[in-house]
Amino acid sequence: MRKMQGRSIDLPVLQKVERFFSLLPPLIVALVLLISWYVSITIGHISDLLLPTPVEVLRSLTSNISAGVYWNNTLVTVQESVFGFVLALVISLPLGYGLAKSRWLAAAIHPYLAAGQAIPAIVIAPVLVLWLGYGLIPNIVVCMLVVFFPIVINTILGIRTIDREIIDAARVEGASGWSMLVDIEFPLALPALLAAIRSGFTLSITGALVAEFVQGGDQGLGSLLMQALHHYDTPFMFATLLVLACLAVLYYVCTWLLTRLAATMY
């Protein structure tokens, strides 16, 4: 219980009130953007071909949801992004740890990492399609490449910024090898790793879209955007962008929950 001006306030109720007020700023921003959108069309006389009305976008969104268009294509994009992210995670975490711990390995691989990061994924994607053909596999690989470099860099940063005095003290206590990694290095580097996971998981959607743009297939949210562009269907395009925004928010919430879970465990 918390007392304020002679009155007792239930703590859970106070937390709910604080949570409600924390949601107000983004809701106000969304409302301002929606009103500005509507006013710019009605008063500014902007063509519907360039900017559709919110009603048209909502109509396109609901009709395509009822027809199952978004459900099937969203599942394809989610599959590509999740598999690509997991593949990047499996490769980049051990590699980043090895680069942080071994100067020889870092000297040998860092130039190739820098060169690979400088090449845009949209340039690599056609080569992967040529090598691997069309389908899910090249899209997963493109998504993995987009996510791979940020996770490697954050892993290296997280391991190298650990206080050396803590490492030396752990060695004096007998920690080495696996016990050093699990009990000392991993918990201390966890904030940097979680930051890499949060940014990488959301960025995986971008990788999936790039792959779908290049491949030019008929599956995935990226293919829906290309179809809308080719048919000059701007309500459909904006509705698809809204679905992508919701998917990005869902990914962000998942990583936020992972962060809260890690905070309770460590």
Q: Write out pLDDT tens, residues 254-263.
A: 998 988 888 7
Please state, rounded to an integer, the average pLDDT across all residues of the chain.
Answer: 83
Per the model's pLDDT, the better-predicted residue between 251 and 162 turns out to be 251
Q: Is 45 left (phi over 0), alpha (psi -120 to 50) or beta?
A: left
Break the chain into its structural domains and give their ranges: 2-42, 54-265
Better pLDDT: 52 or 24: 52
Read off the DSSP letter of residue 164.
H
| Residues 6 or more apart in contact with residue 146 via CB below 8 angstroms | 84, 121, 203, 204, 206, 207, 210
Average pLDDT score over residue span 74-78? 94
Nearest to 14 by CA among 3, 25, 24: 3
Q: Which CATH number fits domain 54-265: 3.60.20.10, 1.10.3720.10, 3.40.50.720, 1.10.940.10?
A: 1.10.3720.10
Q: What is the largest CA-CA distance in the chain?
A: 74
Task: Please give the Cα distance from 191 to 182 (Å, whole number).
Answer: 15
